């Protein structure tokens, strides 16, 4: 199986390099510059750069749950290396003839060709998986909670292209009774019988001998293994060990945005994106939405609500009004009244604004004022936060950073109504993951995924 995976990766890499060379050739052709002499070496060097940067960014990783937006961000990272590479090459050659035009055309062609190629291949793969073709058989080893969740997720999401066969474990539990395939000592037989392609190891406690045994069997049949570290009992998946004098100290939760240079980079990203939105969107779209709101129902254009920001600081969150004027936000029992599907408080224009996320646009004013960031955990109403922190463990951790207009939880489907406690816990879990794993490219990825979802539509947007 690994040979097949490597062959597929090699094919994808080869096709991309062909498109890379074609992009450079088209750029040279349009400016009328002959592809001779040292110019012939440039696409070879660019291909060499592409090979190594694609390895660094795992562009050709075969994990199936990666969506198009994520792949496109990884693609942009590689293209940015190409921009630096071609600039350095022409600087070294001391060639100034049409350099800017060639570079611009090359980057545009490369982005369009590779972006379209990735999109159509992704759609073709999704179609194959949804119709039952090219499916990978998946086996869960162990009885960890994450393993059961992984199984259920794969079972409910056919678009991932997995067929979860069942569980192998030394203990028998009701949660997996109908999918129990045998004990760990029967792993070889189960792999052969069900033609397993991938193993997900989910052991409740770390057992070195068991893991070594599982890996030996997996290698014997060339089966890919992924391990869910259930045995880590820390509250965070990100931790750092330092020395305080001669004493080892573990920092339970590492936060990249605590570092000044990363915080500064995120602030620059916020300023740039907000400035572009003000210049190219606010100037024409705001008046249109404002008029539509006023024509649709009585009341103000904007809705201001107290929400918790960084460190629990309360600020006025600005949104386009999507509900009837003076709509109640409290239930009869005094608890917070969340928006629900087919909510009668929502106006006709408001339903459209919520569906497309356009109701959130005024929050760029909050970014400009310093209360919010473009990307981050979504801020909740004060009453909602007060109720949630009593129900959900680690809830307040999400307030270690500025809240965002959009966030990692939202682009992964956890948005809208959260009356279900599991949904809210999952949202908090993803928010904390974002805080611990923040990177500039993660913010770019979330931004692109948000724009993509705006055009595609979101079932949870109401």
Mean pLDDT of 32-54: 85
136-227 maps to CATH 3.30.70.270: no
Output phi, psi for 267, to 5 deg.
-65, -40
- Report pLDDT for 47: 92
Distances 87 to 16, 45, 117, 317, 394 between C-alpha atoms, Å: 20, 12, 25, 43, 47
Residue 21 has pLDDT above 60, yes or no: yes
Helix axes 421-436, 382-391, angle to 10 degrees: 90
Q: At what angle do helices 68-93 and 440-456 cross, to 10 degrees?
A: 130
H or E segment and range at residue 243: strand 240-244
Task: Give the pTM.
Answer: 0.56
Q: Where are the domains of the chain?
A: 2-130, 136-227, 258-456
Least confident of 143-147, 170-174, 315-319: 170-174
**Residue found by looking up tokens 């080893």 in the block:** 141
Mean pLDDT value of segment 259-273: 89
| Confidence band, pLDDT 50/70/90 cuts, at residue 16 | very high
The residue count of the chain comes to: 462
Interval 184-220: pLDDT, tens: 888 889 998 888 888 888 887 767 788 888 888 888 8
User: So what's the pLDDT on residue 94?
Assistant: 77
- DSSP helix, strand, coil percent of the chain (3-state; round to 5): 60, 10, 30
SS3 label, residue 249: strand
Q: What is the pLDDT of residue 447?
A: 92
Token pair for 224:
């890919």
pLDDT tens profile 344-398: 788 899 888 888 888 999 999 999 999 999 999 999 888 888 888 888 888 888 8
pLDDT above 60 (res 142)? yes
Supply the pLDDT for residue 388: 83
Check: CB of residue 391 under 8 Å from CB of residue 416: no
Res 240 pLDDT > 50 = yes
């Amino acid at each position: 199986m690994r040979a097949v995976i490597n062959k597929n990766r090699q094919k994808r890499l080869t096709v991309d390099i062909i498109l890379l060379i074609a992009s450079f050739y088209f750029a040279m052709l349009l400016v009328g510059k002959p592809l001779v002499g040292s110019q012939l070496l440039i696409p070879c060097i660019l291909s060499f750069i592409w090979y190594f940067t694609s390895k660094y960014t795992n562009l050709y990783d075969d994990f199936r749950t990666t969506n198009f937006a994520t792949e496109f961000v990884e693609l942009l990272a590689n293209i940015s290396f190409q921009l630096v590479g071609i600039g350095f090459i022409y600087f070294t050659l001391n060639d100034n003839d049409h350099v800017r035009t060639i570079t611009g055309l090359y980057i545009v062609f490369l982005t369009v060709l590779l972006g379209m190629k990735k999109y159509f291949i992704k759609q073709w793969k999704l179609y194959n998986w949804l119709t039952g073709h090219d499916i990978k058989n998946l086996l869960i080893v162990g009885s960890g909670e994450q393993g059961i969740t992984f199984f259920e997720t794969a079972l409910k999401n056919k678009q991932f292209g997995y067929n979860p066969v069942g569980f192998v474990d030394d203990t028998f539990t009701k949660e997996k009774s109908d999918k129990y395939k045998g004990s760990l000592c029967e792993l070889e037989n189960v792999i052969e019988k069900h033609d397993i392609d991938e193993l997900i190891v989910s052991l409740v406690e770390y057992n070195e001998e068991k893991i070594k045994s599982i890996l030996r069997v997996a290698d014997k049949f060339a089966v890919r293994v992924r391990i869910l570290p259930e045995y880590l009992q820390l509250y965070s998946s990100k931790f750092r060990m330092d020395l305080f004098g001669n004493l080892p100290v573990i920092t339970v939760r590492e936060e990249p945005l605590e570092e000044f240079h990363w915080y500064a980079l995120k602030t620059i990203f916020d300023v740039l994106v907000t400035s572009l939105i003000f210049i190219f969107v606010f100037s024409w779209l705001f008046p249109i939405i404002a008029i539509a709101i006023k024509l649709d129902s009585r009341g103000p254009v904007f809705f201001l609500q107290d929400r918790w920001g960084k460190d629990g600081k309360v600020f006025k969150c600005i949104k386009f009004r999507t509900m009837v004027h003076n709509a109640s936000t409290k239930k009869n029992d005094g608890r917070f009244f969340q928006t629900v599907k087919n909510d009668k408080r929502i106006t006709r224009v408001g339903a459209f604004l919520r569906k497309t996320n356009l109701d959130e646009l005024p929050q760029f004013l909050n970014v400009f004022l310093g209360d919010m960031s473009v990307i981050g955990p979504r801020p909740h109403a004060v009453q909602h936060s007060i109720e949630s922190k009593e129900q959900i463990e680690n809830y307040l951790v999400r307030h270690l950073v500025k809240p965002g207009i959009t966030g990692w939880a939202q682009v992964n489907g956890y948005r809208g109504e959260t009356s279900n406690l599991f949904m809210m816990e999952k949202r908090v879990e993803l928010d904390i993951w974002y805080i611990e794993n923040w990177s500039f490219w993660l913010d770019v990825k979330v931004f692109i995924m948000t724009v993509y979802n705006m055009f595609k539509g979101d079932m949870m947007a109401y």
